[in-house]
Amino acid sequence: MNILSSPNLRIIEIDLDHTSYQSGHIPSAIFWSRLNTTNESDFRVQFDRLKLEHLMGKSGITKDTTIVIYSGSFAGASFLFWYLKIWGHEDVKILNGSRQKWMAEGRELTVEIPKITASTYTASEPNFNWRVSLVEVQKAINHSQYVLVDARTVQEYNGEWFWFTDQPAQEGERSGHIPGAVHIGFELALNDDATFKSREELSLLYSSKGVTSEKEIITYCTVGARSSFTWFVLKYLLGYPHVRNYDGSWNEWGRLPNSAIEI
């Protein structure tokens, strides 16, 4: 039997819209839009248990299902991984190289939408130890035990851009970075073919900036997606024991009138 059609496997392509999915996706993969699943319209993360259970059920997922996630944007997959881990789903994996490597290798794509048999899914209580609140980030500033890792572009870190692209801050928005945060763009952990760099390369990348395993590490970006990628690398590929993701990120921090900011 083709492993892609295994009843105990669910492949999910996640992105902000379904353009790529409709143009061709991995056989048997279903599509989830971030704005209808993990995020509200303002990009804040939603933690509605009933919505999650409904989504998992209509996707034919049970507690024993192996979930494999990929995306056109690398951070989309890691964000869903982080989100599902909060809800206690054990068997979740990220496709190394994501959509980019799959296509580069000339692997099969299809436009066929798979037929799904609905299931009943009961989520665990959310484990919010995977995330960091605004108050905790404020307490971590200038604390020697903590390292804040900014996973955005250098333009965002330096205050040139507020958002993902060359958009300066508008009314009610402030640009820059959290005081003391080190800048390590999330994509620096990737090879040219979108696969993860070796453990040795990753260890050097982060330790050279003082991001070491004995520290309490907080990752952040704009809406918590790119920082979830860095969180995944540090926690799962390097085995750092104390890593959490600030999902409020700059979407929250940069809109507060009195938040501490460096440029």
Longest Cα pair distance anywhere in the chain, in angstroms?
A: 58
Residue 104 has phi, psi (to 5 degrees) of: -60, -30
> Which pair of structure tokens corresponds to residue 52?
């999650």
The Cα–Cα gap between 229 and 187 comes to 9
184, 151 contact by CB (below 8 A): yes
Active-site hit among 147, 194, 221, 225: 221
The Cα–Cα gap between 175 and 257 comes to 11
The Cα–Cα gap between 80 and 144 comes to 31
Q: Computed from CA positions of residues 32, 36, 40, 45, in that sequence, does the dihedral angle turn out positive or negative?
A: negative
The Cα–Cα gap between 13 and 177 comes to 31
Q: Is 221 a catalytic residue?
A: yes
- The residues that are catalytic are 221
